[in-house]
Structure 1
């Protein structure tokens, strides 16, 4: 199954038009140090181990069914694995290509 993907530029444009749910799967320390913020972003942090181990609980159950969830990690690899698991669970998961690293680069050069 092919995963949905979104580039930092596409995400930036999307955030100007509509509310976005962003799931950051990095460790809590990395999330606290830097994460995407904005008036149109609902930013959630559920570490990848939680999702990859299929540890679904109140936190993961609170993810919106039927609404696109942008999944981000540092470079995109873990996000892709997490998005695959979430897709199996009927979530509409989309991977941020290049992760937070690519996002920071895009913002710096925009």
Structure 2
């Protein structure tokens, strides 16, 4: 039995980004294996909606991680404490915005998936 070391959050996020890049490349060619019929596109949209659905939790947990370091006084900025406060305020605001956008993306992808529900190929 082979064992693998657990991947870190950084490695998992990198793998997710790489998977989306690979998806973008895989959808360039038509037709291609697994990319010939509308139901395949519908499945891709559904899976991207799931990805978007999961982003708010992941982002919230990243924010919580930073917040715990902030609360414990374990953060600093090379440019001083005022800069740190500004950066953390910007970070928290940006994450809140990213979570809102991820939820909007999930909803839009859900509508796109639903729209393709009755669409099929004539072949």
| Greater fraction helix | 2
Q: TM-score, normalised by structure 1?
A: 0.26
Q: TM-score, normalised by structure 2?
A: 0.24
| Greater fraction strand | 1
